[in-house]
Amino acid sequence: MKLIFEKSIPGRGQDIFPACDVPEKLPKKDMLRKAKVNLPEISENEMGRHYTALAKRAHGVNDGFYPLGSCTMKHNPRINEKMANLPGFAKLHPLQPAHTVQGANELITELEEFLCEITGMDGVTFSPAAGAHGEFTGLLLIKAYHHDRGEAERNEILVPDAAHGTNPASATMAGYKSVTIKSNENGTVDLDDLKAHLGPKTAGLMLTNPNTVGLFDPNIMEITRLVHEAGGLCYYDGANLNAVIGIVRPADIGFDVIHMNLHKTFSTPHGGGGPGSGPCAYKDFLAPFAPGLTCKDGKEYKRAEKSIGNMTGFYGNFLVNVKAYTYLLTIGKDVATLAQNAVLNANYMQEKLKDIYPIAFDTTCMHEFVIGLDPIYRKTHVSALDVAKALLDYGIHPPTIYFPLIVHEALMIEPTETETKETLDEAIQAFREIYDKIFSAPESVQQAPQTTPVLRLDDTKAAREPHLRYKFD
């Protein structure tokens, strides 16, 4: 397909701007641009067709099943979008006087109450724009807390080996050394290894729960107790909150701070990679360090007394927060039903596949489960990547692959609660057919997909000879 630049014809374009109704006055000449800027020159019709063609070459939740593990690709309710687009929100200037944005601040205050109730925490900052940004925020809160207590020597964050890559990367950004904690044979935190690494340098522990193999750590309260005993704080990575929402509250089981991915658990769409929103909830003793300005009395914006500053220029991704608020109004106190059906759907698929596909940790899973294809790969040379690509020909978005790192040839499947039994059955059928092909016609799996707009792409060439932009003549 052509790039929009290749459809551009000099002199074409669209009339958006009116003639100037005041005398033209520009900054002085030597400050003005001489360089040519290549932008498309294209009619509205041609441009519309270009993007419609691109849309047809994309796959969203509305296009079909999207069991991308760890990403919680649930249905994005239309009402969320409608509410976020109301002029009363979308047309507000962030620096309007407080008394002219009463509704917006009331919404945020109420959303904060909802999220506090769901997590058990005492306060929420909406300053972070995405999940990883929320992690970074939470770690800075932990750092500010230790520094405030004169314990700046605590410079290690413990991160289990099954963690998302964002955890150690966030620890580095917060100036921490990340120390890896091993998983045990059950796929959960190895308590002995944890104990061996706790000490006077421990600033905290970052834990994803349920973890990235889809398991709820049975020792979780023991883990948080041990970390607290060593003087560290406990950070809950809320990426997988959908599994336990309404059933477990992170604060109740010993966590001090948590980020949530509103674009996962709270149904705001992911937009092809963002924007998300990653509010960070904390216990009272971290409140003095919270970032950003908030307006709770409707009169003036205030900052916490020992605030770490701010994570974004204004108040985070406000319109995304409107969508999450709308969602929570809809669901109300029945949030546990989300976790129930998410966990049911995952276990249903796991149970229906485990006779043929090796399950990494064969026990009741939470909202997702992991297939470890390694034994099959060793026999057939059909890899997790091949299975993922074969699913494309069934119109199914593949699971997350090659993660978590502790499972070889991993396929991580998260159906979410908004899928029907029929959809799951169709996907199970597809997985089973692919399994048959692995043994009867392995090359057909290795050469998949065949029905997509492009076939397998050469990642090596892309990285060895980077072309990151269109080159004009």
Partner 1 sequence: MIDPKELKYSRDDEWVRYDGDAVYIGITDYAQSELGDLVFVNLPEVDDEVIAGEALGDVESVKAVADIISPVSGVVLEVNEELLDDAALINNDPYGAWFVKVGDVSDEVELLTADEYDAYRG
Partner 2 sequence: MGTFIPNTKEEQLKMLKEIGYKDFDDLFKVIPDAAKVKGELKLPEGLSEIEVDRKVQGLANKNVVFRSIFRGAGAYNHYVPSAVDAIANKEEFLTAYTPYQAEISQGILQSIFEYQTMIAEITGMDIANASLYDGASAAAEACWMCKDRKHSTIYVSGAIDERILEVIKTYSFGRENKVEIIPAKDGVTDKDALKKALEADDEAACFLMQYPNFFGVVEDAEELCKITQGAGAKFIMYCQPLALGLLKNPGEIGADIAVGEGQPLGLGLEFGGPYLGFLSTKEENMRMIPGRLIGETVDTRGERGFVLTIQAREQHIRREKASSNVCSNEAWCALRAGIYLSTIGPKGFEDAAKLCSSKAHYMAEELDKIGMKLCFKGEFWNEFATTCPDADKLLKALEDKGILGGLKFSCCGCDDAKEDCILWCCTELNTKEDIDEVIAVAKEVF
Q: How far is CA 246 from CA 71, 116, 249, 265, in A?
A: 19, 12, 7, 12
| x/- letters, 262..301, toward partner 2 (CB under 8 A) | -x---x-xxxxxxxxxx------------x----------
**Binding span for partner 2 by CB under 8 A among 195-203, 280-288, 385-393, 435-443:** 385-393
Q: Which two tokens stand for residue 198?
A: 């706790």
For 351-418, the DSSP string reads HHHTTTSPBSS-S--SS-EEEE-HHHHHHH---HHHHHHHHHTTT-PPPEES-STTSTTEEEE---TT
Buried b (16+ CB within 10 A) or exposed e, 158-179: bbbbbbbebbbebbeebebebb
* Separation between Cα atoms, residue 288 and residue 174, nearest integer Å: 18
Query: For 258, phi and psi rounded to 5 degrees?
Result: -150, 145
Which of positions 189-228 make contact with partner 1 (CB under 8 A)? none
Residue of 67, 76, 242, 368 that binds partner 2 (CB under 8 A): 76
Q: Which two tokens stand for residue 336?
A: 């546990």
Q: Which two tokens stand for residue 76?
A: 């994005």
* Separation between Cα atoms, residue 473 and residue 142, nearest integer Å: 52
The three-class DSSP label of residue 72 is coil
Residue of 89, 201, 288, 358 that binds partner 2 (CB under 8 A): 89
| x/- letters, 364..403, toward partner 1 (CB under 8 A) | --------------------------------------x-
Nearer residue to partner 2 within complex by CB, 52 or 440: 52
CB contact at 8 A, 161 and 406: yes
Residue 132 binds which of partner 1, partner 2, none (CB < 5-8 A, kind-dependent): partner 2
| Site for partner 2 contains 34 (CB under 8 A) | yes
| Site for partner 1 contains 467 (CB under 8 A) | no
Nearer residue to partner 1 within complex by CB, 5 or 402: 402
Residue count, binding to partner 2 (CB under 8 A): 198
Q: How many residues belong to the chain?
A: 473
| Site for partner 2 contains 355 (CB under 8 A) | no
Residue of 260, 338, 410, 438 that binds partner 2 (CB under 8 A): 338
| x/- letters, 105..144, toward partner 2 (CB under 8 A) | -xx------x--xx----------xxxxx-xx--xx--xx
| Site for partner 2 contains 150 (CB under 8 A) | no
Q: Are strands 280-282 and 233-238 parallel, antiparallel or unpaired?
A: unpaired
Residue of 464, 467, 469, 471 that binds partner 1 (CB under 8 A): 464
Sign of CA dihedral 53, 57, 58, 63: positive
336-353 vs 421-440: helix axis angle to the nearest 10?
30
Query: For 75, phi and psi rounded to 5 degrees?
Result: -60, 140
Rg (CA), the chain: 25
| x/- letters, 336..355, toward partner 1 (CB under 8 A) | --------------------
Nearer residue to partner 1 within complex by CB, 20 or 463: 463
Q: Which two tokens stand for residue 364?
A: 């009741």
Residue 389 binds which of partner 2, partner 1, none (CB < 5-8 A, kind-dependent): partner 2
Residue count, binding to partner 1 (CB under 8 A): 5
Map tokens 């969203």 to a residue: 60
Residue 26 binds which of partner 1, partner 2, none (CB < 5-8 A, kind-dependent): partner 2
| Site for partner 1 contains 36 (CB under 8 A) | no
**Binding span for partner 2 by CB under 8 A among 196-204, 227-235, 396-404, 432-440:** 396-404
Which of positions 444-463 make contact with partner 1 (CB under 8 A)? 459-460, 463
Q: Which two tokens stand for residue 261?
A: 């991915």
Q: How far is the CB of 402 from partner 1 (least distance, A)?
A: 7
Q: How far is the CB of 40 from partner 1 (least distance, A)?
A: 31
In the complex, which residues of this chain contact partner 1 (CB under 8 A)?
402, 459-460, 463-464
